[in-house]
Chain A
Amino acid sequence: AQKITQTQPGMFVQEKEAVTLDCTYDTSDQSYGLFWYKQPSSGEMIFLIYQGSYDEQNATEGRYSLNFQKARKSANLVISASQLGDSAMYFCAMRERSIGSSNTGKLIFGQGTTLQVKP
């Protein structure tokens, strides 16, 4: 069964420093996508970054980068130059991309990591 594990319930980081949020996944599929979402206290889910299983390069979006290690089945999120507005809950998620089979498109979420940025 597909599973996402986020082992850090809570993290602290000093403003302007970098932080890594851990994510490991389990799947038997060869084709899948990995996502990171940010959820501030308002509750909305904000898409941050995406990595496809066949992408050779790590994904980057502004201050966000995804450290993708396929053999270790890890997809850690790195936030550089942390800002106070980065304080939120962060979710790692996976979606299967099985070709030729019915693809629900559903996302499987981890339990989340709460990040607090200290001034």
Chain B
Amino acid sequence: DGGITQSPKYLFRKEGQNVTLSCEQNLNHDAMYWYRQDPGQGLRLIYYSQIVNDFQKGDIAEGYSVSREKKESFPLTVTSAQKNPTAFYLCASDGGQGEYEQYFGPGTRLTVT
């Protein structure tokens, strides 16, 4: 079955630690995205990548970093510089060109204490 996997579903970290969230897709999609969702709110774009080895900042990139070394993978690192990292993180992908719906992964709920 094609889809997007994110692991783990729940992640707990101590303040000051970097943490990496994984996102893998086997849909052969060119474009991948990371969104952040706070309780009762909509999604906000953190980073996106339209092609391997290239990515751009979204609306709230500060305190985050990404890499896109393979088409299938787009990991997100939440650094200690991110002031309020506790949130629900969703990864998405699509075929690029803005013509297709975005498919979402199941999400990772990160709690930092």
Measured CB to CB, the residues of A under 8 A from B are 4, 33, 35, 37, 42-45, 47, 50, 91, 95-97, 103-107, 109-112
- 11 example contacts (A-B, Cβ-Cβ < 8 A) are as follows A43-B88, A44-B107, A45-B90, A45-B92, A47-B101, A91-B42, A105-B48, A105-B94, A106-B33, A107-B92, A110-B42
Contact with A109, one of B40, B42, B50, B96 (Cβ below 8 angstroms): B42
Most buried by A among B50, B94, B96, B102: B102
Q: How many A-B pairs with Cβ below 8 Å?
A: 63
CA distance A33 to B101 in the complex (A): 9
Q: A45-B90, A105-B97, A107-B92 are in contact. List 4 more A-B contacts (CB 8 A).
A: A33-B98, A44-B107, A50-B101, A107-B45
Measured CB to CB, the residues of B under 8 A from A are 31, 33, 40-45, 48, 50, 56, 58, 88, 90, 92, 94, 96-99, 101-107, 109
The answer on a CB contact under 8 Å between B56 and A104 is yes
- Nearest-neighbour CB distance to chain A for B112, whole angstroms, equals 18
Residues of B contacting A33 in the complex (Cβ-Cβ under 8 angstroms): 98
Residues of A contacting B50 in the complex (Cβ-Cβ under 8 angstroms): 104-105
Residues of A contacting B109 in the complex (Cβ-Cβ under 8 angstroms): 43
